[in-house]
Amino acid sequence: MMMFASDGFLTDNSSSTNTGQTHVFTSFPNSAVDVDDEHSGNKTINQSDSNQYTLPLPATANETTSEQYHLWQIEYYQKYFQVDTRQVVERLIGSITPRPNKSYFDSTIRQNPDLYGPFWVCVTFILTVAISGNIVDYFHKSATEFQIDFSKITLSALLILIYWWLMPTAIYFFFRWRLNRIEYTFLELLCIYGYSLTIFIPISILWIIPINWLQWTSTLIASIISGSVLIVTFWPTINSDHKRFSALSMLIILFVHLLMALCIMLVFFHVSDKNINPTTETTTVFTTVLSTTPK
């Protein structure tokens, strides 16, 4: 007969043997295992597995994801607008402060070229030109003849956007044809030329003043300041070519930049004798004569 001993072990007291041998059971049923320990162990394993899936993705994961987008998807262009306020302000200031000893492109744009700043610079320039041009018309027309000309928005947008895209395209293919290498990507050239229009935003407000010498002087000064930033940016690349050809290339870039500013100033702001409405003068003279004629 089997009985439990006082020490907790199972004892076999069979009548066939009188040796009093004690049998110790070392294998226990599953019910003997601590259930709390089992759950805690599984919980630890599950937590470690979940932590493996919550680790941050590698830096190359974003690049792989962005490459999956196509040109006609908005997500493809998100990487060109990843810029903070500090970087935009630095690029705006750098576009109007030429520094010969420090390249504006290498110090601010090369690391992260963007389209956010150039886009809003061009949009602001378009609006200031259109609004200021209508203000000039308001001061030089009678109240009955003046009407807001919304076509000025279309015309200013056409001139500014064509210049913003045409010049980077021409310079890109020029470097590729003349130097047989690509020193600047098309995005970098768009960024440079977009920020180069920053100085013309306050100048377009100054053009409202109907003083010819002030309009011409402000146009020349703004073009030289902004154009010098372009020359300092492109000179290290052009300098490797023939000296005369390099100087001629820089003069062409500066001349086209000045030509753009002159076109906008002459089309929207320049006031001459031909711009004055003769109907207003004739009406004024006729009214004066009638008032002085004795009845």
E-only strand ranges, the chain: 2-4, 10-12
Considering the domain boundaries, does residue 243 fall inside one? yes
- Cα–chain center distance at 168: 16
Considering the domain boundaries, does residue 278 fall inside one? no
Considering the domain boundaries, does residue 29 fall inside one? no
Q: Which residues of 106-127 are buried (b: 16+ CB within 10 A; e: fewer)?
A: eebbeeebbbbbbeebbeebbe
Considering the domain boundaries, does residue 124 fall inside one? yes
Considering the domain boundaries, does residue 90 fall inside one? no
Structure tokens, 2 = 């089997």
Residue 287: per-residue pLDDT: 44
The pTM for the full model equals 0.68
Contact between 200 and 238 under an 8 Å Cβ cutoff? The reply is: no
Domain that holds residue 216: 98-272
Place of tokens 């520094």: 99
Residues 64, 65, 66, 68, Cα dihedral to 10°: 90
Give 30's Cβ-side CA count (13 Å radius). 1
Considering the domain boundaries, does residue 135 fall inside one? yes
Residue 196: per-residue pLDDT: 94
pLDDT tens digit at each of 295 positions of the chain:
555 444 544 445 444 444 455 555 555 555 545 545 545 455 444 544 544 444 444 433 444 444 577 767 777 778 888 889 999 999 999 899 887 665 667 777 888 889 999 999 999 999 999 999 999 988 888 778 888 889 999 999 999 999 999 999 999 998 888 777 778 889 999 999 999 999 999 999 999 998 999 999 999 999 999 999 999 888 888 877 677 778 888 999 999 999 999 999 999 997 764 444 444 443 343 344 345 545 4
DSSP string, 34-72: -HHHHHHHHHHHHHHHHHHHTSPPPHHHHHHHHHTS-TT
- Cα–chain center distance at 156: 21
Alpha-carbon distance values, 27 to 12, 24, 33, 83 (Å): 17, 9, 11, 67
Residue 202 corresponds to which amino acid?
A: P
Total domains in the chain come to 1
- Cα–Cα nearest to 135, from 236, 276, 261, 269: 269
Alpha-carbon distance values, 74 to 135, 138, 186 (Å): 37, 41, 19
Considering the domain boundaries, does residue 61 fall inside one? no
Residue 281: per-residue pLDDT: 44
Place of tokens 């072990």: 9
Contact between 196 and 98 under an 8 Å Cβ cutoff? The reply is: no
Residue 67: per-residue pLDDT: 56
For 81, the 3-state DSSP assignment is helix
Residue 106: per-residue pLDDT: 73
Considering the domain boundaries, does residue 81 fall inside one? no
Structure tokens, 117 = 């700043």
